[in-house]
């Protein structure tokens, strides 16, 4: 049935039906989690070969990897990931287990030391602002919030962030120092920036000359289908416009091998990488080179990475399809809900009827299904329309997921009808 | 011969002899390195068992260690290292591969957020100063220098930093926010703080209520002899004086297992650890838990760590003894040089005749022996008397080391005689 503009009596009837359905789910005492983009146990298994892959003699390259030394990553890892991402060895840093940590450190360096020689540290300025495409990744927003950086929402469109709005914002306001972007299979929408969007990024003319694009390419190779979305190389595009210092690119193997025990990397202009290395030399003697070598030997080459990602896709694809199918079954007719159909990444983004997201999450929780908190996909945790929910289908088994998404659909419908009959 | 107050003619003769000896070494075209505290290949081998120690099922504890989660360290690692260091599980953070990185992060948090709720971030103050016992560790000094923190030298004594000077400095000046200290087998002197010194640290009454002791206990278990120096637990002593928030304690397994692929840890008051965790949650999802488990399984228990350290000591002890012996042979009589005789740690500290350290390092370099740069053991790289040199005997083989230290002695004598005959 169509919920909007519907006869109240019919809605009340639907309400009673939904309450019964909901009660049935509650009685099942489920305990399911669709809250975070965590790989499943089946996916983790794909990397178990890593635990034994290294022999001591594998470490006897580029000096002795078991000892101190090499701040910016072992040459073998730079070569492998440089080829994968399209970067030269002096445009890439191979770091520790967390790309979030590199993003945080990069932001902190801008706060304390400025983005380049002679530029004002952001912590010395009265106001620093960042553009945040929404919905987006809560951990990006938390970094800004923690550092007192004011966030400005800009909408996501099917081709990436609304570049009209971005261009307009940056050109007149030098307190706007940067923008977050997950350019491929975005979190949570699963949107990939179009070629035009990437070129417009590379052509930005910000009033702040220390403006930076924080390009979190977390899902660069995380396709669900053989033919993945393609994304232009931001650094290459920025070179064409002569603005390569504007691009900070990040990624990691957190969802390629083991989350928490992978390697992360940063790609940027030679000048930015040189500066980052200088700062890093105060901070650490070097990252875990043995774990870098472990990855290199496990994958051997770019084909090894590609083949690993195909195995991940085979596990992930049915889960995404199960969610989409159930959403279609529940909402195709009543049209109160829209959702994305990503071709990669870790999330499906669902927009409910306005002012029902929080209630839906609450209802789900009370039926044993954990969702990402409503509002989490917006700066300060505030979704102005209280309608966006991020579904993370990766972690549960397919059976658990099917239950969880059925519960979600009933809760979303219930929250909607509750609102409409008020 | 006695160099000081010596007849000039005799000195000139000695000068000629030394020049010949020096020339002989140059002809050998040596390439030896006594510059950094790096373990030798033989020591690295002691940990090769780590590479294969973990099976996938070892990761299925406290959730699945292969996945995201656990910010502050796996319980198994907290238990092991907590027992070793004398800390409860809510007084300890197990982090990544570098304790230098935790120290840097702790300092940066104080800069950006202050040391506790409501305290002024140090970056908002006109002047922040730190006490630096000298000679000390160059990387501590670099953190201060990078962050614009002014450093005040305080002398080391045989019982630790000159506490009269420290007490005097902190009591009247609230711009003095902290002190660095390597409390056991200090870098470079190899001095261990006496019980009285530790108690005086714990009883400090700084004018700055956000004053912090950065206690880099890097060599806590790095004894050369069965009976190691003993050090009071600073956190326990601070609890007795009610000042436990003053203590930040750091260490790592960098010189226990593999440098660069070890685990690091921070110990402090429950309140400080809670605050550090809150900040860390913005920075990362967690550290490498698999590597933490790798260490736990490799060592099994504290006895496992102790037995590993005995093997390190067996390799290190003859090297320290060879250095000391050669120093005695060269300098016992002429009395222009003094040195420490550490019972643990990684360094021997040598004080030459004033104004000859730089020249000695230069002469060594020209004879193929690399030493830590003269001045490196002082803030800003400035040794006011240009006399201190840090000898790092660990990395070369014993044969190489014997050559290297002979070269060093000839160079030190040559630099001294050059100065005296001027």
> In this predicted model, what pLDDT tens digit does every residue of B144-192 receive, in sequence order?
999 999 999 999 999 999 999 999 999 999 999 999 999 999 999 999 9
Residues A369 and A261 in one domain: no
How does residue B54 score in pLDDT terms, banded at 50, 70 and 90? very high
Q: Of A39, A56, A258, which is closest to B51 when you measure between CB atoms?
A: A56
Reduced 3-state DSSP string for A50-71: HHHCCCHHHHCCCCCCCCCCCC
Cβ <8 Å between B284 and A45: no
The pLDDT value given to residue B75: 98
Cβ <8 Å between A282 and B55: no
d(CA B276, CA B265): 12
CA-nearest residue to A280 within chain B is B101
Residues B245 and B291 in one domain: yes
Contacts of A64 in chain B (CB under 8 A): 41, 44
Q: Distance, in angstroms, between A3 CA and closest chain B CA?
A: 40
Place of tokens 């037995």: B307
- The answer to whether ipTM exceeds 0.90 is yes
d(CA A22, CA A364): 9
The pLDDT value given to residue A188: 97
Residues A233 and A285 in one domain: yes
Tens-digit pLDDT profile for residues B72-123: 999 999 999 999 999 999 999 999 999 999 999 999 999 999 999 999 999 9
- Average pLDDT rounded to a whole number, residues B40-66: 96
How does residue B422 score in pLDDT terms, banded at 50, 70 and 90? confident
The conformation of residue B223, written as its DSSP 8-state character, comes to: B
Domain range spanning residue A237?
61-300
d(CA A256, CA A276): 25
CA-nearest residue to B286 within chain A is A260
In a domain, residue A50? The reply is no
Tokens found for residue A83 = 């080829």
Q: Distance, in angstroms, between A66 CA and closest chain B CA?
A: 5
Residue pairs spanning A and B at CB distance below 8 A? 143
The conformation of residue B37, written as its DSSP 8-state character, comes to: -
Contacts of B39 in chain A (CB under 8 A): 67
Interface test with A, best of B108, B261, B396 (most A CBs within 10 A): B261
Q: Is A320 exposed, middle or buried (0-12, 13-18, 19+ CB in 10 A)?
A: buried
Contacts of A108 in chain B (CB under 8 A): 108, 112
CA-nearest residue to B56 within chain A is A48
Look at residues B274, B300, B326 and tell me which one is the last residue of a structural domain.
B300
- State yes or no: cis peptide before B135, omega within 30 of 0: yes
Contacts of B68 in chain A (CB under 8 A): 36, 38, 254, 259-260
Residues B31 and B107 in one domain: no
In a domain, residue A119? The reply is yes
CA-nearest residue to A147 within chain B is B112
Q: Give all strands (DSSP E) within A182-322, no chain letters.
A: 212-216, 247-252, 264-268
CATH number of the domain where residue B400 is located: 3.90.1150.10
In a domain, residue A245? The reply is yes
Residues A262 and A383 in one domain: no
Q: Of B38, B41, B289, which is closest to A260 when you measure between CB atoms?
A: B289
Measured between alpha carbons, how far is residue B52 from residues A48, A308, A375, B47 in Å?
A: 12, 22, 44, 10
How does residue B334 score in pLDDT terms, banded at 50, 70 and 90? confident
Tens-digit pLDDT profile for residues B369-381: 999 999 999 999 9
Q: Of B56, B283, B284, which is closest to A51 when you measure between CB atoms?
A: B56
**How many domains would you assign to chain A?**
2
Contacts of B279 in chain A (CB under 8 A): 146
Residues A30 and A66 in one domain: no
Taken as a whole, chain A contains a residue count of 422
- Return all residues near B81 (Cβ < 8 A) that are at least 6 apart: B87, B92, B94, B263, B265
Beta bridge partners of A27: none
In a domain, residue B56? The reply is no
Cβ <8 Å between B68 and A260: yes
Residues A27 and A108 in one domain: no
Residues A280 and A331 in one domain: no
DSSP string, A313-359: HHHHHHHHHHHHHHHHHHHTTT---EE---SBSS-EEEE-STT-HHH
Residues A295 and A312 in one domain: no
- Return all residues near A46 (Cβ < 8 A) that are at least 6 apart: A308, A311, A312
The pLDDT value given to residue A357: 98
The conformation of residue B344, written as its DSSP 8-state character, comes to: B
Q: Of B143, B260, B289, which is closest to A68 when you measure between CB atoms?
A: B260
Q: Of A139, A146, A282, which is closest to B104 when you measure between CB atoms?
A: A282
Look at residues A258, A283, A300 and tell me which one is the last residue of a structural domain.
A300
Question: With the C-alpha atoms ordered B343, B143, B253, B110, is the resulting torsion angle positive or negative?
Answer: positive
CATH number of the domain where residue B225 is located: 3.40.640.10
Residues of chain A with pLDDT under 70: none
Q: Is the pLDDT of residue B2 over 90?
A: no
Residues A171 and A111 in one domain: yes
Tokens found for residue A361 = 């999450």
In a domain, residue B55? The reply is no
Cβ <8 Å between B285 and A259: yes
The pLDDT value given to residue B62: 83
Q: Of B55, B100, B285, which is closest to A285 when you measure between CB atoms?
A: B100
Look at residues B300, B316, B334 and tell me which one is the last residue of a structural domain.
B300
Contacts of A45 in chain B (CB under 8 A): 56
What 3-state class would DSSP assign to A268?
strand
In a domain, residue A87? The reply is yes
Residues B79 and B100 in one domain: yes
Residues A201 and A292 in one domain: yes
In a domain, residue B49? The reply is no
In a domain, residue A269? The reply is yes
């Amino acid at each position: 049935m169509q919920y909007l503009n519907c006869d109240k009596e019919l809605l009340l009837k639907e309400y009673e039906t939904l309450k019964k359905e909901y009660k049935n789910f509650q009685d099942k005492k489920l305990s399911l989690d669709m809250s975070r983009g965590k790989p499943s146990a089946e996916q983790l298994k794909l990397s178990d070969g890593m635990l034994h892959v290294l022999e001591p003699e594998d470490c006897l390259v580029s000096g002795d990897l078991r000892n101190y030394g090499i701040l910016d990553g072992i040459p073998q890892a730079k070569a492998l990931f440089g080829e994968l991402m399209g970067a030269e060895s002096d445009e890439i840093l191979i770091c520790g287990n967390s790309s979030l940590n590199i993003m945080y450190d990069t932001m902190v360096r801008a706060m304390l030391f400025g983005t380049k020689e002679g530029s004002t540290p952001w912590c010395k300025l009265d106001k620093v602002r960042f553009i945040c495409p929404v919905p987006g990744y809560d951990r990006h927003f938390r970094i800004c919030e923690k550092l007192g950086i004011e966030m400005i929402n800009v909408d996501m469109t099917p081709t990436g962030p609304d570049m009209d709005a971005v261009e307009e914002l940056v050109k007149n306001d030098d307190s706007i120092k940067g923008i977050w972007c997950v350019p491929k299979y975005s979190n949570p929408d699963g949107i990939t920036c179009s070629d035009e969007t990437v070129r417009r990024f590379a052509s930005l003319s910000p009033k702040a000359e220390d403006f930076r694009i924080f390009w979190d390419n977390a899902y660069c190779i995380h396709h669900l289908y053989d033919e993945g979305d393609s994304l232009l190389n931001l650094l290459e595009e920025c070179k064409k416009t002569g603005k390569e210092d504007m691009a900070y690119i990040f990624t990691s193997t957190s969802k390629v091998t083991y989350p928490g025990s992978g390697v992360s990397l940063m790609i940027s202009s030679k000048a930015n990488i040189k500066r980052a290395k200088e700062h890093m030399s105060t901070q650490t003697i070097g990252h875990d080179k043995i774990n870098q070598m472990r990855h290199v030997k496990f994958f051997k080459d770019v084909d090894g990475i590609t083949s690993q990602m195909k195995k991940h896709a085979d596990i992930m694809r049915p889960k995404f399809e199960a969610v989409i199918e159930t959403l279609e079954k529940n909402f195709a007719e009543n049209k109160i809900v829209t959702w994305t159909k990503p071709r990669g990444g870790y999330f499906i983004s669902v927009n409910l009827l306005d002012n029902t997201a929080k209630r839906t999450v609450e209802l789900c929780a009370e039926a044993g299904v954990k969702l990402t908190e409503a509002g989490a996909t917006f700066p300060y945790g505030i979704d102005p329309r209280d309608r966006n929910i991020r579904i993370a289908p990766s972690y549960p088994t397919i059976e658990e997921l099917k239950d969880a998404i059925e519960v979600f659909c009933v809760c979303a419908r219930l929250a909607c009808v509750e609102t409409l009959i008020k």
